[in-house]
Amino acid sequence: MAMNLVKLPTGKPNLQLRVSKGHYATSHSHINYYIDVTLTKFRLSEARAAAQELVRGYRGTTIIDTILCLDGTEVIGACMGSELTKAGYSNMNAHQTIYVVTPEHTTGSQLIFRENTAPMIADKHVLVLAASVTTGYTVQGAVEAIRYYGGEPAGVTAIFATVDECAGYPVASIFDPHDLPDYQSYDSHNCPWCKEGKKIDALVNSFGYSSL
């Protein structure tokens, strides 16, 4: 069943907030909006526009050697790396470039890096890039993995976030609850819609949604 997505005005050029209101379940919570960032992640023009927004707070002020991409944000991460390596920006890498990496997930959802990618984390300033930050569980795991492999978290950034801070780091995002004032998120055990007997419309995660 196709989901009815609505495009909300954002005031940001080349960027749109596509949402569907309902009762949705993620792996960590129940939410009343599914925020579809598929085109932002995979359409080059939107990924580039998102990257330009996201680097505003980092260009020239924060050392970034590596961008750790979560939730399928590699295209945005590559565009951010391109923006950050333009003239006038420097980092600590010997080759004056930025690594754009994706972690591997174990069956227990832990993040790991193999011997060929671990050097891109060790002794590097690593910026965490996520599609969304709401409960913060995924980002917390990313920060722990960075530290375990000898890196230094440089910050957290996302397309959409409901929090200003996660894992001890400020969260910079393009969209937040100001763009979606009635956005709500609850622990699955304390979901008011479940208590009212309202059925779940779909299971959602970073890959998309599966209607029920």
Task: Place 207 in a pLDDT band, splitting at 50, 70 and 90.
Answer: confident
pLDDT at 138 over 60: yes
pTM for the whole structure: 0.89
Q: Which of 94, 95, 111 is nearest to 103 (CA)?
A: 111
Predicted confidence at residue 56, as pLDDT, reads 86
140 forms beta bridges with: none
pLDDT in tens, 84-97: 887 556 555 556 78
- Indicate the helix (H) or strand (E) that contains 41: helix 38-42
Domains along the sequence of the chain with CATH: 45-182 (3.40.50.2020)
Between the two ends of the chain, the Cα-to-Cα distance in Å is: 9
128 class by beta-carbon count within 10 Å (0-12 exposed, 13-18 middle, 19+ buried)? buried
pLDDT in tens, 48-62: 999 999 998 787 678
Q: Are strands 165-166 and 152-161 parallel, antiparallel or unpaired?
A: unpaired
| Mean pLDDT of all residues in 42-50 | 94
pLDDT in tens, 159-197: 999 999 998 999 999 999 888 899 999 988 899 999 999
Q: Which of 22, 30, 20, 11 is nearest to 192 (CA)?
A: 30
49 class by beta-carbon count within 10 Å (0-12 exposed, 13-18 middle, 19+ buried)? buried
